[in-house]
Amino acid sequence: MSEGFKTLIFPVTDPAKAKTAFTQLLGVEPYADQPYYIGFKVNDQDVGLDPNGHRSGMTGPVAYLHVEDIQGAMQVLLAAGGEVQGKVREVGGGRRIVTVKDADGNAIGLLQDS
């Protein structure tokens, strides 16, 4: 069971400039403003800026599907011809993420909260 795609993360090269632009575009201040992540909350949607995204292989925004079982969701995508992009990793607060490219090459983020 999933909660749907509730998080969208953009890789950025200039976090300060991106933070200013997204603050103006979204009309809200960030709830998280760290060197490794800048996060905005708009209704039930999280919009994040990742200053390390390009270095970790992100080539554009990634939508993250919130799931109860990250390993099970990964297996569904792998069985359908997907390919894991890196390892499942802890990003703080018990949150785990991984990106899988589906059979068509689309990047799909999986996110599990503990």
The model's pLDDT over 3-54, given as tens digits with 9 standing for 90+, comes to 889 999 999 999 999 999 999 999 999 999 999 999 999 999 999 999 999 9
Lookup result for tokens 């390009």: 54
Host H or E run for residue 10? strand 2-11
Task: Tell me which fold the domain 2-112 belongs to.
Answer: 2,3-Dihydroxybiphenyl 1,2-Dioxygenase; domain 1 (3.10.180)
Average pLDDT over residues 75-96: 93
Domain ranges within the chain, ordered by starting residue: 2-112
At residue 2, the pLDDT reads 81
Helix-then-strand count for the chain, H and E: 2, 8
In sign, the C-alpha dihedral spanning 114, 77, 101, 19 is negative
pTM reported for the whole predicted model: 0.89
Q: Given this model, what pLDDT does residue 84 score?
A: 94
